[in-house]
Homo-oligomer: A and B are copies of this chain.
Amino acid sequence: MKIAVDAMGGDFAPANVVEGAKSALAEYSAIEKLALVGDEATVRAECDRIGLRDRRMEIVHAAEVVMMSDSAVQAVRRKKNSSINVAMDLVKGGDYGAVVSAGHTGAAVAAATIKLRTLPGVGRAGIASPFPNEHGVCHLIDAGANVDSKPVHIFQHAIMGAVYARHVLGRENPAIGLMSNGEEEGKGNEASRGAFELLKASDLNFKGNVEGRDLFMSPIDVIAIDGFSGNLVLKGCEATAKVLFKWLKQELKSTPFRTLGAIMAKGAFKDTYKKSSYETYGGSPLLGVNGIVVIAHGSSSPLAIKNAIRVGKEAISHAVNPHIEEEIARHNVAVD
């Protein structure tokens, strides 16, 4: 399989991207070709610096870079030679199977939607963001590809999340929840209540309304939500984890005695961080477009990039898109 990586995307690009690609090439023999898309001289210098020499790697030149300040659609339309656009073109051309990017999320979603188009029958693509869960991993979909979602979009996100959980993660009968402001039936806003009815009437393994704690503690595989609220929940959870580790660190350093205790218990902090960190999961697949697109975190470490490439690899090898197409057709709901 062939995977295109946006070498210029992310807060620490191209360094972390190139290093992550090196690890991925070393670890995943299924990768036949890995394209590093970006400014050729810059990317080559970075490869030389870390000693990335692999005949499966090729550098594909892209003259422009999308900046975080660019608007998503403008970035795609005006910066035609940006790394995300060129990477997406490799998939559009049919030669490459997946794109991985830690750059501007909006631009990646726009480029994917404009260039690859949504799969037949799919109204809107959705970002499936993995949350560490005591029973495995829970994917929140949509974590921010859309803002004003209709019930049918939320319903289709649930279907696509279920396909991903079944075919890629091997969950036989994925449990689906709908995130709402309470567990009781009837809770929710207009869009989520509409999605509830569609989910209830379907043959999906629908567990009803769920709340924040279910992301981490319940045997739920997929939580469907509109993209606006989903993005806010994702960022709220991330910010909470970040600030708690920060405050805890400050408190642990406040006396020498506490510091000594912290050094002794160091492994526990590392293990908890590892368990809760997005680095371990790597990336969020954008489900519903005609190609595999993996959105990695903006501040991705090399480990996060490697794991995002793994997510792309798995989505290709488990043929997630043909299965999505099939399931979307089977559930047969009208989208506008």
A→B interface (CB under 8 Å): 69, 71, 106, 134, 144, 147-148, 179-182, 184, 186, 188-190, 192, 211-213, 215-217, 225, 227-229, 231-244, 247-248, 251-252, 254-255, 257-269, 271-272, 275-276
Cα distance, A66 to B16, chains bound together (Å): 55
How many copies altogether? 2
| CB atoms of A232 and B235 under 8 A apart | no
A228 touches B265 (CB 8 A): no
Of B233, B239, B260, B262, the contact of A216 (CB 8 Å cutoff): B239
Q: Which of A211, A238, A257, A272 has the most CB of B within 10 A?
A: A272
Contact B240 A216 (CB under 8 A): yes
Given A238-B212, A240-B216, the answer on whether A268 and B258 have CB atoms closer than 8 Å is yes
Task: Chain B residues near A233: list those with CB within 8 A.
Answer: 232-233, 236
Whether A228 pairs with B267 at a CB distance below 8 angstroms is: no
Is B211 touching A235 in the complex (CB atoms < 8 A)? yes
List the B side residues contacting A271 at CB < 8 Å: 251, 254
Given the complex of chains A and B, what is the CA–CA distance between A147 and B75 in angstroms?
34
Contact B258 A272 (CB under 8 A): no
Q: What are the residues of chain B within 8 A of A189 when measuring CB–CB?
A: 147-148, 228
Known: A217-B239, A237-B240, A248-B268. 6 other contacts (CB 8 A): A179-B232, A181-B232, A240-B240, A248-B272, A257-B265, A265-B265
